[in-house]
Structure 1
């Protein structure tokens, strides 16, 4: 039986399996994690933990090209400066997948997805994803119809 296009399809990517691959250290009172994309140490906040697990998943499992991934890239949304959590570009350097990371305590829903999709207006990325590390929602955006549909898997990198 097909699902409704706006019915969320929660995907379990089993992200905790990448925890052991994270480069983590203690720096005074802060736990730090090394981001291989940004090439720097960052405070290991809950949202950063999810972001790092997702980066490992996209590179290792999905075979996304690490040179086509940006993290916390600046973008203008309605004349306001914002940052994208993860933005993946296709081989022609067009935005391909926008990922919004939430802390593990944040419950994902269609409303959370709509909120995250506000960043996508200026970028017009064909695929949008939100994750709290346990649950993941991925959608394909149809700009002509001003609509979207949830997918059961993360799209293959082009």
Structure 2
């Protein structure tokens, strides 16, 4: 898998029936290793180990219903009150970050009302803080550290 623009992390990878699987400590099971999963695992580990978000408030591939269609957020971080704080949309490193990707996460946020949005392909990362009053988002240099 490609080296990403994220801190290195130890990931447990194994082969089963000629396919690679990665152990997901968030879902506590082996997941097929795809390029998108590679990015998702690296970014989730970045949030927990470098930004100090508790693993207990972190959900991967959380299902939501949008216009009667089931969708999944890649990474969802909750605040202490149990409401969504950060939504992260991960793409494979070969996927260019486009307006369409921002539109996808914005649609998810119509339902979730998270304060921060992140779009990443593991090489490029875009961090936004929602300005609900003015119905727009403001780009940030990085996502803030977890506030204890």
Do the structures match in fold with TM over 0.5? yes
Give structure 2 stretches of 5+ with no counterpart: none
Which structure has more relative contact order (CA 8 Å, sep 6+)? It is 1
1:52-67 matches, cutoff 5 A: 52-67=41-56
1:37-52 matches, cutoff 5 A: 37-52=26-41
Aligned length: 144
Deviation at 1:103, TM superposition (A): 0.7
Which residue does the alignment assign to 2:13?
24
Structure 1 stretches of 4+ with a deviation exceeding 4 A read none
Query: Which of 92, 108, 114 lines up with 1:119 in the alignment?
Result: 108
Which residue does the alignment assign to 1:95?
84
* Native 8 Å contact 2:89 2:118 kept in 1: yes
Deviation at 1:116, TM superposition (A): 2.3
Which residue does the alignment assign to 1:155?
144
| Inter-partner Cα distance in structure 2 for 1:106 and 1:82 | 19
* RMSD (Å) for aligned C-alpha atoms: 1.4
1:4-63 per-position Cα deviation (integer Å, ceiling 9, x unaligned) = xxxxxxxxx832622xx0110111210000000000001100100000001111111001
1:79-103 per-position Cα deviation (integer Å, ceiling 9, x unaligned) = 2111111000011111100001101
* Native 8 Å contact 1:89 1:97 kept in 2: yes
